[in-house]
Structure 1
Amino acid sequence: MEKNRFLPLLFAIMFLVMSGFGIIIPVLPFLAEDIGATPTQLGLLMAIYSLMQLLFAPFWGQMSDRYGRKPILFIGIAGLSLSFFLFAIAKTLAMLFIARIIGGILSAATMPTAMAYAADVTTSQERGKAMGAIGAATGLGFIFGPAIGGIFSKMNLHTPFFISGCLSAITACFVLLFLKESLSKEKQSSGSKTKEPMWHMLKGPLLFLYLLQWFITFSLAGLEATFAYFAAKRAGLYSAQLGYIFMIMGLASAVVQGGLIGKLIRKFGEGRVIQGGIIVSAIGFALILLVRNFLTAAVFLSVFGVGNGVIRPCVSALVTKHAPSGQGRATGLLSSFDSLGRIVGPVVAGWMFTKMIELPYLFGIGLSICALVLYYLFSKQSNEMRRTLS
């Protein structure tokens, strides 16, 4: 397809966006603390971003169906840039919350619109590979961004936010100048006439895919929230070593998403790749219980990362293929379920960790089993609907 030539541009855009976002990750807690935030307020500051994403991602996805992908993607990236600049000049806790809320509301447009763009410019056979490329760009941004943020934070805690703001502003200009609109005027007109309520997307087999994605993100967010404490207790690992471990995990996941997932989908199909990814993730959770040193932590976490990394692109591809109307609506709702997992996962996993340090990972295995059941229900209902229609 001729439009496929825009996928490398989309990859570059998402890499730059996530690099800018990643730059602030190691710095935000220290900036908040410097301004006077308590640990509870810091937790709220982190959670409110995901809450805004949960609430607004479907709205922006629907807007991209109505007005096109390019303007909504620009709004998302420009909004992220604005929030970073607000952080850079913030002197009060209230200003931090305002910046975080604005960033959450506007940047909620970015991921669902990027996924909808990928769906627009690919055939159904190539869609999983394109979603994998977006996942790889996101993962690489989160690897390189925090390293850059850590370096520049030594100058001043506000400096990384200025850098992130400038990088996001440049990326927004890049979208305006070089990215072509992927949604035809006819489809935009059709999207503007859609009267079906958003919750109708949750009817039928798609509901099982959305719930599956929620469970997978729930388990991932729980691991991310507790693994540092687990590794410290079990293997005596601390911040610098954990940074390397998560970098290795991210690289392993990005390599699979960016290089292998297309071949896996062509050979096995999205469904089998999802099932395989869930099983590998569950094995990863089980192996994490055996962590004893840096090497085992890096290897076992990478096993989990590879399994988890192949699931989202395949789920995204299936959602866009089965959505009754509007790729943006479908991907926006998927992003909301992602955000819900990131809100609930750390809270539940943190509470479980206080009861028994192995419990979050045993629970992760249970969630993986539930995800397999959800895929079975999706597949069964989809096949029944196809037989009914034929």
Structure 2
Amino acid sequence: MSFLEPTEEAHRSPTVAEVTELQIMGFVVPILNRDFDEIRQEVRGRIKEEKWQRRLVLIIVSTALLLDNMLYMVIVPIIPDYLRRIGAYKVKYSYQLTNDTVGSENGTEYFVSKLHKIKEYESEDTSLGYLFASKAIIQLLVNPFSGALIDRIGYEIPMIIGLVIMFSSTAIFALGQSYGILFFARSLQGLGSAFADTSGLAMIANRFTEEAERSKALGIALAFISFGSLVAPPFGGVLYEFCGKPVPFLLLSFVCLLDGFMVFMVIHPKTQRAETGERIKGPTVFRLLLDPYIAVCAGALVTANVSLAFLEPTISKWMTDTMPTVTEWQIGLVWLPPFLPHVLGVYVAVKLLKRYSQISWLLAAVGLGLEGISCFIVPFATTYTGLIIPLSILCFGISLVDTALLPLLGYLVDTRHASVYGSVYAIADISYSIAYAIGPVVAGTVVANLGFFSLNLIICLSNVLYAPALSFIRSVYSYKPFENDSDGDYKRDVSFNESEFYGSLENQHFDPKQPGHQYAYDQNRDINSNN
């Protein structure tokens, strides 16, 4: 009997004889001509290959960062209108008397007085500011502890924890119908981000150990961060307008859940374990911040992201006041065109770092300079197109800074501490959180008291004045990883021009028992030397 005929076992896998019959008949169908168990085993084997593991890690982390930044920005066009609709604010009315000219006769103008009733929402700006900033504040407070936990238990489990928390917070956002519930959901998202973002960046640094590959992988992740921030407002606004508040949040929560399940495909059973079977103890966040090189990098990341964090909550109102012809949808899409220069900046930085690996500090300094110049130009823009140009330069500069410094943080812990990355990328996440925690509050206060131009001047000066400080880290590549010589002794290859070196190796402690996972300590060395 041919297995093409209907049988009661239609769903069973074809036998070897049936496959042979198909092949004789001329039917060579991929998958169907093979045993499903064989296919399943082949897929599992392929997934376990290091090359595919790294690709999966990059997909998972990029998706997590995309989701986090979409969740951060998707509420911008939704929550202000929704809170007004549900009566979250006390409403008060004020009256304004205006005189309108209705005509003139024999040189005499006739006026009509009109009394306008103005509806005001009490404490709306303050309430929205606290709601928007709560995520970054919680993330800032939790990051030191999440970084330590990641170093202790590995990267994958904290990633799953973060994605589950983000899923829960997004679902609460979809169903919440009061200011208190939405505030709780926003704060809960900060808790999830502290685990997901930090473990994601650390996971990339752990799996991509070669410097050029690490820069490329982190650059791709940064592109997804930018894309999430820029595409979220139009995504949320359109779905909110036509489908209601729950739909955009439910879609994002589903992707969170899917991404969490994918993490199980890349879990390492012996993540961060040395040959002794013991987990390497990494330095704490506070100890890493005492490293002047890491401190300078962290300060640069804060400074670079202050510009975006300060402009995002203030530029919409400034455009409304200075560009009367600009429509609401144009204001909502003002950050979308600069996405392309951001991706271009990532591409340029990755290519330059691959060829000239020691110019990270210079790329970051140039990026800060471009940010400062662009922020100074922004207040002078009088048209929508004229505004897009400095904003594009701004995003290009930010991408140079981030793409140059994030891989450098991984290199610093590889060569000066231990190759566990939770705490150092918690510092990077803290840097972003500081900028976005103070942005909605400080920027609004500065604009209200000093004006929009003064805000941009402050941003410009902070970026330009900080840029020279990056020359301090130009000697970081003088440090080389631990190497094991032929006699079994551990030594560090340090070759540099001392005249160009800003620090000194004196009083710096390099413990061979605390190297990274690729520099495992041979506990038998002492035994062999005694023998």
Q: Same fold (TM over 0.5)?
A: yes
Post-superposition offset of 1:227:
1.7
Return the match for 1:28 from 73, 79, 84.
79
- Per the TM alignment, residue 110 of structure 1 is displaced from its structure 2 partner at its CA by 1.5
Alignment of 1:315-330 (within 5 A): 315-323=405-413, 324-325=417-418, 326-330=420-424
Structure 2, unaligned stretches of length 5 or more? 1-49, 90-122, 479-500, 511-531
Equivalent residue for 1:132, pick from 211, 216, 219? 219
Are 2:336 and 1:242 aligned? no
| Corresponding residue number in structure 2 for 1:280 | 370
Q: Structure 1 residues 41, 289: CA separation in 2 closer, same or farther (over 3 Å shift)? A: closer
Shift of 1:137: 0.9
Say whether 1:170 aligns with 2:258.
Answer: yes
- Give the Cα–Cα distance (whole angstroms) in 1 for the partners of residues 82 and 278 of structure 2: 45
- 1:261-276 equivalences under 5 Å are 261-268=349-356, 269-276=359-366
More strand by proportion, 1 or 2?
2
Deviation string for 1:179-229 (max 9, x for gaps)?
A: 3449724169434x45x5431111132112112212222222112222222
Q: Which residue of 2 aligns with 1:208?
A: 296
Aligned: 1:337 with 2:425: no
Deviates more, 1:37-46 or 1:271-280: 37-46
Q: Which runs of 5+ in 1 are unaligned?
A: none
1:102 matched residue in structure 2:
188
Cα RMSD (Å)? 2.6
Separation in 2 of the partners of 1:226 and 1:22? 14
Deviation for aligned residue 1:380: 6.6
CA distance in 1, matches of 2:370, 2:406: 19
Task: Give 2:177's aligned amino acid.
Answer: K
- TM-score, length of structure 1 as denominator length: 0.90
Equivalent residues of 1:32, 1:96 under 8 A apart: no
User: Aligned partners of 1:308 and 1:96: how far apart in 2?
Assistant: 31
Pick the structure with greater CA Rg.
2
How far apart, in 2, do the equivalents of 1:72 and 1:339 lie? Answer: 19
Shift of 1:157: 1.9
Please give the alpha-carbon distance, in whole angstroms, between the structure 1 residues aligned to 2:463 and 2:269. 35
Matching residue of 2:442: 348
- Displacement of 1:309: 1.7
Normalised by the size of structure 2, how large is the TM-score?
0.67
In structure 2, what is the Cα distance between the partners aligned to 1:77 and 1:25?
22
Check if 1:373 corresponds to 2:491. no
Note if contact 1:57-1:333 (Cα within 8 Å) is conserved in structure 2. Answer: yes
**Higher helix share goes to which structure?**
1
> 2:146: which partner in 1?
60
Number of equivalent positions = 386
Query: Structure 1: how far apart are the matches of 2:269 and 2:140?
Result: 25
Q: What is the percentage of aligned positions where both structures have the same residue?
A: 20
Name 2:233's counterpart in structure 1.
146
- Name the CA shift for 1:147/1:174 in 2 (closer, same or farther; >3 Å): farther
- The one-letter code of the counterpart of 1:278 is L
**SS of structure 1 residue aligned to 2:211:** coil
- Mapped contact 2:64–2:259 kept (Cα < 8 A): yes
**Retained in 1: the 8 A contact 2:410–2:424?**
yes
String of CA shifts for 1:63-112, please: whole Å, max 9, x gaps.
22221211111111111110011122223322222222222112211211
Q: Is the 8 A contact 1:152 1:159 kept in 2?
A: yes
| Residues 101/119 of structure 1: CA separation in 2 closer, same or farther (3 Å cut) | same
Q: Is the 8 A contact 2:230 2:336 kept in 1?
A: yes
Kindly indicate whether residue 456 of structure 2 is the aligned counterpart of residue 361 of structure 1: yes
Out of 42, 45, 49, which is 2:131 matched to? 45
- In structure 1, the residue corresponding to 2:215 is in which secondary structure? helix
- AA aligned opposite 2:461: G
Higher RCO by CA contacts (8 Å cutoff, separation 6 or greater): 1
Greater mean alpha carbon deviation, residues 108-117 or residues 149-158: 149-158
